Structure 1
């Protein structure tokens, strides 16, 4: 073996310059690779935001793709400026599947963006939802002073004073005892009827005012002593020697049929006389009669527990039992009785 064929490991150290050349050459090669990679990245970074990256094909899980423009497919891009119904900001338009499958630029001119991992876009913070505006609430009306004055509480009626006044005016035959019984109510109804008031038997402010300035009853002509019954106004006037003694509230025939339609509740009209009487109770076919004074056949002036402010009898003339007792004690047989007016009436032939 010659000296030129001896290996470097012969024990002689090689010159320093010959051992560093391989390291320097490796560094240059590595630097060239890095520069080439950096240039590619710079080119790609300058164009990725403008050109959409080619997305890898998505496996079809729901069958063939719906053709573009199908009316049943949802729109891919929301119209510009539509913020939605709830006021939230609409997210940016997304790229449709059709755009993702569009052909990319020539790779000879520009390397495909898919060769390098695309940097994800920085997530934008979701916009804060708009605060719901409170719906206007109608203000409750403030309670002010009431403009309507409450009705004054009526003062209690001095019934004894009212009864005395009714006796003085010739409507009440009983005592002024402060008891609001049937006789007192009937006397109030008679007074209200004569004075053109509402007939209810109640002493109210209007009736009290009328008691201070009453209207005198109107009488027809006739004998100086008589019982005059006004069937239109449902009143009976007792006249003695040309002077009215008392005016009573009465109820006459109502015109209804009874006895299976063979008779009608009508009151006779004309001039009659008291023919007979029965003291106490008379239990008749049509009811009980108290102290009846008969003036024509079975027709009588008698007491009853029901004397309303309208015609209600079978043809007789009803008064209160208390008034009937006074009449039977103060009206003699043969006293003339005149009945006139009314609706449910008849004129008997003698």
Structure 2
């Protein structure tokens, strides 16, 4: 407004600018839903928006940041959570792994899992920064570390998964 000095800003009142979502924290600041309270629980993956929705019927309970497959490699359609799940994996052909994986198609081929890790189990920050913004996987659905851990620990076998 005419180059007038308007005052000072205390350093404690500022936060660093981040052009990515914090993949080390849950996607939302509210608690995850108690899956036992929702008889019609399902998971929806919106590829265009790079989001995962935990729903009860048509009611959205929780929204997660995601990174789906490059070149439309994430399959679209109706699936269900399968029995296969685990703490971590590493695929030498892709040079990446992940933690907290949960299968939804082809028994361990298509997964919900954390942002990727390298051969030493360290998270790959450049890949993690794609979360919620753009596809980056080879067909799986990448999530924040806590979101992937929650799905792995709480989502029951047979829970419907709809990807569009």
TM class, shorter-chain normalised?
0.5 to 0.7
Superposed counterparts of 1:120-269, under 5 Å: 147-150=2-5, 156=13, 182-184=23-25, 187=27, 224-240=40-56, 242-255=58-71, 266-269=73-76
Structure 2 CA distance for aligned equivalents of residues 312 and 151 of structure 1: 44
Indicate how the Cα distance of structure 1 residues 151 and 230 shifts in structure 2: closer, same or farther if over 3 A, else same.
farther
Native 8 Å contact 1:224 1:243 kept in 2: no
2:98 to 283, 289, 303: 289
CA drift at 1:313: 0.9
Higher RCO (C-alpha under 8 Å, 6+ residues apart): 2
**Corresponding residue SS for 1:291:** strand
- Provide Cα deviations, 1:318-346, integer angstroms capped at 9, x if missing partner: 00222111111110011000000xxxxxx
Q: Map residues 40-55 of structure 1 onto 2, 5 A cutoff.
A: none
* 1:274 aligned residue: 81
Select the structure that is richer in strand: 2
Aligned CA distance change for structure 1 residues 149 and 241 (closer, same or farther; 3 Å)? same
Distance 1:157 1:239, change over 3 A: farther
2:145 to 321, 324, 331: 321
Separation in 1, partners of 2:104, 2:68: 14
Quick one: distance in 2 between partners of 1:279 and 1:227? 19
Once the two structures are TM-superposed, the CA of residue 148 in structure 1 deviates from its matched residue by 2.1
- Counterpart of 1:331 in structure 2 is 155
Cα gap change, 1:151 to 1:290, in 2 (>3 Å)? farther
Q: Point out where structure 1 has 5 or more consecutive residues left out of the alignment.
A: 1-145, 159-179, 192-222, 256-264, 341-350
CA distance in 1, matches of 2:134, 2:148: 18
1:272 offset after TM fit, Å? 0.4
Counterpart secondary structure, 1:294: strand
Q: 1:153 to 1:314 in 2, by over 3 A?
A: farther
RMSD of equivalent CA atoms: 3.0
Cα deviation, residue 253, structure 1: 1.1
**In the TM superposition, what is the alpha-carbon distance from 1:310 to its structure 2 partner?**
1.1
Matches of 2:154 and 2:161, distance apart in 1: 14
Contact 1:303 1:318 in 2 (8 A): yes
Q: Partner of 2:110 in structure 1?
A: 299
